[in-house]
Structure 1
């Protein structure tokens, strides 16, 4: 595992980390770009360098209302349109960082701008 395991767990954010992550992150839409329900961001954490994965749901109420419900269909159709979202990614790397307790990752968070359907 590459990265800095010696970094103490600390909840913090830095705008520069978003800039770094924009050049290294892998972003995918699931199940696909024509009907996205979840944005998945993976790549190295810009603070500790360990690989991390973050899933950001685009539609939060569709499953609770049933796939055949009118509101569910409208929410899914809205998510599939051309769109963008500011995604806050929180490091959830598997490395054990000092002072993390029960937390995963190193505590870092950053924001990525994600666009689809353009």
Structure 2
């Protein structure tokens, strides 16, 4: 099983649209963070993933906000850590091991 296949990112997007997977901002000290929670796109178990953000600018040309400034994209690379043992999971993971990407645009 390929745990980094793009289909998991595609399915995560569908779960986000259905509000079965959520991304909420959270501030730890001075570092902006996000909490991703909800259904795993592969195993459907509940996962919670806390991440410090990585901001990228200038991806695929300049995307401008309403004030004319470039918008920043926040990229979150999430790995299932549902806590359930899965027979076909990679060694040493706490879930099914699938990885997917969520990209948010800061507005």
Normalized against structure 1, the TM-score is what?
0.57
Gaps of 5+ in 2: 55-70
Instruction: Provide the C-alpha distance between the structure 2 equivalents of 1:94 and 1:18, rounded to a whole number of angstroms.
Output: 19
Structure 2 matches for 1:1-118, cutoff 5 A?
11-13=3-5, 14=7, 15-23=9-17, 24-31=20-27, 37-58=32-53, 83-100=72-89, 101-116=91-106, 118=107
Which gives a bigger RCO, structure 1 or 2 (Cα 8 Å, sep 6+)?
A: 1
Distance 1:108 1:92, change over 3 A: same
More helix by share: 1
Q: Return the index of the structure with the highest Cα Rg.
A: 1
Gaps of 5+ in 1: 1-8, 60-81
Number of residue-to-residue matches in the alignment: 85
Instruction: Provide the C-alpha distance between the structure 2 equivalents of 1:105 and 1:92, rounded to a whole number of angstroms.
Output: 4
State the 1:55 CA deviation. 1.5
More strand by share: 2
